[in-house]
Homo-oligomer: A and B are copies of this chain.
């Protein structure tokens, strides 16, 4: 299966997150088969990350969005963890600080985008400004319209500067969310993650789905595509994310840089030093 084609939000065709069966695994039900495939993908990603880092020309931005308990942390802990921290950063965007809130909605985001050779993971992102702020009517419709356009323009600037952008909506059902909240309740080590507001946000589920629909359809572009990942099944979710990342990084086609040395000259220096002469 071509995960990339299967889950991309086609810029020319409307997608509706409400029509997607979040529990589907497309025949990928054998844990060991998935684990083996994932391990292979991880090796490919590590190899490609090394080349992106060495090449020092392009960069990769990975955006994760999901409802609470949708698996953003899990995807980082199980897939993205494998990337080398030299050249890979992870940035969470929580409720804006006073300083952040005193600027435009892209200010705090722009500061954190990847530089050349870097991979950056956004755990939540600028899309919060057209999701939570829309659902809670913190942003008038007219400004919202401007934000979609501003996001596309912003991402185009990044893409033109050599940043590959890939955006994942980890899509779980309302029932799956409740199940995961229940599991957190059963695990004292996870109690600190729970807040009452999680339950309050559940009441806005349909509004969130409508907000995701607009964000995904209006901001899935050739240069910064959205992917909707059926994410009730964690193993399948991990596999799907890794498959799409492998394809994205392969498209970047990073090249080991030419050595900027005269190998013969270096060899001469080396042998001089090895023979005890000062070098």
A35-43, A125-133, A181-189, A208-216 - interface stretch: A181-189
Interface status of A99 (Cβ within 8 A of chain B): no
Count how many chain A residues have C-beta atoms less than 8 Å from C-beta atoms of the other chain.
46
**A234-260 near B? 1/0 per residue, CB < 8 Å:** 000000000000000000000011111
Minimum CB–CB distance for A27 against chain B, Å: 30
Q: Is A10 an interface residue (CB 8 A)?
A: no
Flag whether A270 is at the interface (Cβ < 8 A).
yes
Say yes or no: B81 contacts A84, CB within 8 Å.
yes
Comparing A86-94, A147-155, A158-166, the segment that makes contact with chain B is A86-94
Complex: A85 Cα to B75 Cα, angstroms: 12
B54 and A121 contact, CB distance less than 8 A: no
In this assembly, does A195 line the interface, its C-beta being within 8 Å of a C-beta of chain B? yes
Task: Give the residue name and chain of the B residue nearest to A269 (CB).
Answer: B199
- Cβ–Cβ contact A192 & B257, under 8 A: yes
Is A191 an interface residue when CB atoms closer than 8 A count as contact?
Answer: yes
Known: A86-B90, A185-B263, A194-B259. A273 touches B199 (CB 8 A): yes
CA distance A192 to B261 in the complex (A): 8
A196 contacts partner chain B, Cβ-Cβ < 8 Å: yes
Q: Is the CB of A261 within 8 A of B123?
A: no
Q: Which of A81, A83, A265 has the most CB of B within 10 A?
A: A81
In whole angstroms, what is the CA distance A191 to B203 when docked?
Answer: 57
24 contacts between A and B (CB under 8 A): A54-B192, A77-B84, A77-B86, A80-B85, A81-B84, A85-B85, A85-B89, A85-B90, A85-B121, A86-B123, A89-B90, A181-B273, A182-B274, A185-B263, A189-B256, A192-B259, A194-B261, A195-B260, A196-B262, A196-B266, A199-B266, A202-B273, A202-B279, A203-B279
